[in-house]
Homo-oligomer: A and B are copies of this chain.
Amino acid sequence: MKIIVDALGGDNAPLEILKGCQMAVKELNVEIALAGDEEKIKKCAGENGISLDKMELIGGGDEMDMHAEPATILKENSTTSMAAGLKALSEGKGDAFVSAGSTGALAVGATFIVKRLKGVKRPCIGSVMPSSDKPFMLLDCGANAECRPEMLRCFGVMGSTYMKQVMKMESPRVALANIGTEPEKGGELQKAAYALLKEEKNCNFIGNIEARDIPFGKADVVVADGFTGNMLLKMYEGTALALMKNIKGIFMKSIITKLSALMLKSGLSDFKKKMDYTEYGGAALLGVRKPVIKAHGSSNAKAFKNAIRQAVLFAETGVNEKITEAMEAEAEKAAL
């Protein structure tokens, strides 16, 4: 299996990206195709003693500007490392693509360069996140700020398929993020999406979920429009960070509290590992023809390696084939 990597995307590129690729080559038995300015990549690898064994340089320019309009990636002469990687993916030069660069640009680029799966109107971003029970997927996390009900139905099918194939869940519980559990709750979008999801045979829809229940893992797939999903994702991250910062402050107060923290170390580190999103890799771009993974912008080597592992699983387990089957079944039903 060959994974194409955006070598220059992300806050810690290229150093942590290349280190992550090296780990992936060793641990995951994959080949890597590095997209991006060859001089830069070689220089960084040389200076840091990183072997480029089993890594091919496929060219490309500099990183995508994080502040550029996402659509600039579509300019015909875009030579950014992200555009180069996506083009290589669409031309079959690898089995999946991983980037830690701009989420917006990756969503737009994947949609128009790699192209959509048959039956999927709008690709979306699905993030696998920890809960106090088992991990769950939240989608859309921000690719589509405004959605139609039909899109939310499709997100439910795609998220369910992903959790089934990649996370090996038998019958993922799919829920719609809403302000109450009753079917008539929410705005027009939620009411219509509820009705569509309820009829959908390709996912196990359990109804609405209130935000309060999401961190407890009461659903395996949480469906929302991209605006709401992005709010939920970032509120989850922010609240966890703010609380942990406060608790750290309590631990650091005195010699006695520091000693106490030491006694709690093993429990706390298990917990930290459970809550560490880098363990789960990155977010999956669902609904495009080839597997695309968005690694966290601040990924270190380990997080990036895990994103590559996720890309391998995404490609290996036939998620896209299953999504296409489900969408075709739906289209046939609609045509009757």
Q: Which residues of A contact B (CB under 8 A)?
A: 131-132, 142, 145-146, 177, 179, 185-188, 190, 210-216, 226-228, 230-247, 249-251, 253, 256-257, 259-261, 263-264, 267-268, 270-271, 274-275
Q: Taking chain A's interface residues, is the majority helix, strand, or loop, or is none over half, making it mixed?
A: helix
Q: Which residues of B have CB within 8 Å of A216?
A: 238, 241-242
**Given the contacts A188-B146, A211-B238, A239-B235, A132 and B250 also touching, CB distance less than 8 Å:** no
Contact at A251–B227, with CB atoms within 8 Å?
no
A-B residue pairs in contact (CB < 8 Å), sample of 23: A132-B246, A145-B179, A179-B231, A190-B227, A211-B235, A212-B234, A212-B237, A212-B238, A214-B235, A214-B238, A215-B238, A231-B231, A232-B235, A235-B239, A239-B239, A239-B243, A243-B243, A246-B275, A250-B264, A250-B270, A251-B267, A257-B264, A259-B260
Contact at A257–B253, with CB atoms within 8 Å?
no
Q: Which residues of B have CB within 8 Å of A267?
A: 249-251, 253, 257
Nearest B residue to A144 via CB reads B187
Query: A281–B84 Cα gap in the complex (Å)?
Result: 55
Query: A132–B299 Cα gap in the complex (Å)?
Result: 25
Query: A249–B245 Cα gap in the complex (Å)?
Result: 19
**Given the contacts A215-B242, A243-B240, A231 and B228 also touching, CB distance less than 8 Å:** yes
Most buried by B among A187, A215, A237: A215
Q: How far is the CB of A245 from chain B (nearest CB, A)?
A: 6
Query: A274–B139 Cα gap in the complex (Å)?
Result: 32
Query: A271–B75 Cα gap in the complex (Å)?
Result: 51
Nearest B residue to A177 via CB reads B231
Residue from B146, B213, B231, B243 in contact with A238 in the complex, judged by beta carbons closer than 8 Å: B213
Query: A211–B141 Cα gap in the complex (Å)?
Result: 12
**Given the contacts A132-B242, A216-B242, A250 and B231 also touching, CB distance less than 8 Å:** no
Q: Which residues of B have CB within 8 Å of A244?
A: 243
Nearest B residue to A182 via CB reads B67
